[in-house]
């Protein structure tokens, strides 16, 4: 019994000072009415106000005007009105409420605060200022011991470098990190981030986003299941279902992992990766490879697009395969390396390296460097073939128009009486040759230097004699669709 009385006495709100004191008894209630420079105390909590009512039996305080609470010298709360329960140590503060601790200042119109557990709550809107950050929300929860705020509805975080808008947000005042849940948007002068889940460190400018995460920066979009972004380093990393869009090059990249470096202006994508290049006149070029790289223009560096390993290209009027590829945007030049094969109409084109130029979205011309060969299939096992050290050609509507052969020229092509019947097969050796094509077929041939040409009947030559060295028909490799 003595311990209970002692505990009750210890929890009683004490009167330290007041200019005027009045004792009021109403029924079985004893009320102390204090007026002028009122000072109250309960253990390590001090309370100040202009006037107060103390309900002795309930251990409850009502305080009016210039209310101030100081708890543990760590949290200070001011307002116009206070209802305080000394038994539960819970306070309701109304009117021009301001809460200040070591890390931030909170202002609101009404605050419920549990001094024992150092927990606060508001639902009439509030604003928090923490150094350079200003955060507002409709509803807020403050956990002083954890240094955490939890916000809901119309959450706005303003920083000199960006603005964050979210539906639900958890903010750690010591870590300077915001964790968001639900629709979130972070906007700065240089980029915009959209997601539904993730975190953002306002001190390091590092962040991670997931669930419909998108970053818009420098006329580029990066979308993925999960994104990591370092704003200071201008470095973005993406994982799973990646989509990158470069509005300058009108290029879409897709894959499973990717890195975008804003300083070097280089973006990598790999893992089931492919690219979609929007051409003129509504056409598109699809490219598949293990790894894709986009390098934007930086200083004297030209805009580049690179693809590495197992490259496949599909366009309505052109297809190709190779090990690696480089496309120079400004020169409209695409270079294919390591066993490249290109198909244009009925023609299969090969060499050690293929260079072709795109003009107005169409294949305009090409250069074949070392071991160049062009093959087109006739009926049955018959193939027209042109071979040389190097070749260059021009295209018309993406079909062969002109072809020049330089060095070690050889050709086998079938002479026709009409569309159904052959006259024979021409076998020609000539160092330099010029061919003109009509609808992808040889229309005219000019042999420039010392040609050795023979027209053979179809049945006179053996099958192996109707194949130039290095002949290989690769139609099975030809991409048929994107």
Could you read off the pLDDT of 140-172 as tens digits, one per residue?
998 888 888 899 999 998 888 888 899 899 988
Q: Which of 99, 78, 82, 79 is nearest to 91 (CA)?
A: 82
Average pLDDT of the chain is 86
**Long-range contact set of residues 74-83: C-beta below 8 Å, sequence gap at least 24:** 74/101, 74/102, 74/144, 75/99, 75/100, 75/101, 75/118, 75/144, 76/100, 76/101, 77/111, 77/113, 79/111, 82/47, 82/49
Q: Which residue has 């010392």 as its token pair?
A: 450
User: What is d(CA 65, CA 48) in angstroms, rounded to the nearest whole number?
Assistant: 9
- Report the candidate in 450, 461, 449 with the shortest Cα–Cα distance to residue 414: 461
Q: What is the pLDDT of residue 220?
A: 80
Per-residue pLDDT band for 5 (boundaries 50, 70, 90) equals very low
Which domains does the chain carry? 10-99 (2.60.450.10), 338-482 (2.60.450)
What is the rounded CA–CA span in Å between residue 187 and residue 438? Answer: 57
DSSP H or E stretch at residue 201: strand 191-201
What's the residue count for the chain? 482
Residue 131 CB: number of other CB atoms within 10 A? 12
Three-state SS letters, 302-358: CCEEEEEEEEEEEECCEEEEEEEEEEECCCCEEEEECCCEEEECCEEEECCEEEEEE
What CA dihedral angle connects 200, 205, 211 and 216, to 10 degrees? 140
Q: Which DSSP letter does residue 11 get?
A: H
Q: What is the pLDDT of residues 22-78, one digit of tens each?
A: 888 777 788 899 999 999 999 889 999 999 999 988 999 999 999 999 988 888 999
Summarised one tens digit per residue, pLDDT across range 395-419 is 887 678 899 999 889 999 888 777 6
pLDDT for 6 beyond 50: no
């Amino acid at each position: 019994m003595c311990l209970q009385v002692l505990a009750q006495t210890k929890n009683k709100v004490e009167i330290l000072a007041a200019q005027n004191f009045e004792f009021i008894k109403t029924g079985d209630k004893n009320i102390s009415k204090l007026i002028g420079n009122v000072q109250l105390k309960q253990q390590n909590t001090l309370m100040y106000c202009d006037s107060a009512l103390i309900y002795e039996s309930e251990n409850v305080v009502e305080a009016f005007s210039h209310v101030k609470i100081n708890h543990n010298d760590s949290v200070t709360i001011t307002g116009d009105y206070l209802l305080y329960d000394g038994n539960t140590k819970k306070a309701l503060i109304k009117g021009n409420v301001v809460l200040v601790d070591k890390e931030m200042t909170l202002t609101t119109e009404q605050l419920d605060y549990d001094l024992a557990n150092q927990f606060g709550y508001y639902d009439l809107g509030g604003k928090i200022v923490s150094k350079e950050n200003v955060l507002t929300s409709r509803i807020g929860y403050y956990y002083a011991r954890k240094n955490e705020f939890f916000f809901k509805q119309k959450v706005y975080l303003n920083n000199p470098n960006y603005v964050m808008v979210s539906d639900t947000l958890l903010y750690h005042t010591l870590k300077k990190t915001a964790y968001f849940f639900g629709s979130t948007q972070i906007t700065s002068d240089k980029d915009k981030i959209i997601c539904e889940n993730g975190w953002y460190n306002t001190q390091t400018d590092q962040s991670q986003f997931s669930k419909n995460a998108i970053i818009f920066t420098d006329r580029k979009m990066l979308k993925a299941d999960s994104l990591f972004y370092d704003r200071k380093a201008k470095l973005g990393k993406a994982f799973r279902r990646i989509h990158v869009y470069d509005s300058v090059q009108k290029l879409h990249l897709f894959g499973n992992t990717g890195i975008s470096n804003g300083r070097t202006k280089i973006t990598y994508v790999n893992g089931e990766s492919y690219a979609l290049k929007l051409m003129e006149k509504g056409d598109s070029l699809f490219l598949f490879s293990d790894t894709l790289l986009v390098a934007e223009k930086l200083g004297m560096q030209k805009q580049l697009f690179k693809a590495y390993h197992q490259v496949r290209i599909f366009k309505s009027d052109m297809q190709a395969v190779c090990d690696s590829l480089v496309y120079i945007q400004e020169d409209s030049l695409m270079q294919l390396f390591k066993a490249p094969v290109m198909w244009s109409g009925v023609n299969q084109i090969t060499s050690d390296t293929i260079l072709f130029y795109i003009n107005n979205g169409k294949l305009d011309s090409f250069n074949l460097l070392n071991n160049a060969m062009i093959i087109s299939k006739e009926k049955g096992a018959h193939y027209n073939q042109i071979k040389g050290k190097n070749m260059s050609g021009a295209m018309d509507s993406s079909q062969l128009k002109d072809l020049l052969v330089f060095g070690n020229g050889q050709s086998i092509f079938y002479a026709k009486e009409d569309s159904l019947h052959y006259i024979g097969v021409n076998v020609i050796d000539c160092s330099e040759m010029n061919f003109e094509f009509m609808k992808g077929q040889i229309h005219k041939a000019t042999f420039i230097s010392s040609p050795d040409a023979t027209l053979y009947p179809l049945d006179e030559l053996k099958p192996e004699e109707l194949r130039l060295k290095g002949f290989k028909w690769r139609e099975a490799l030809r991409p048929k669709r994107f």
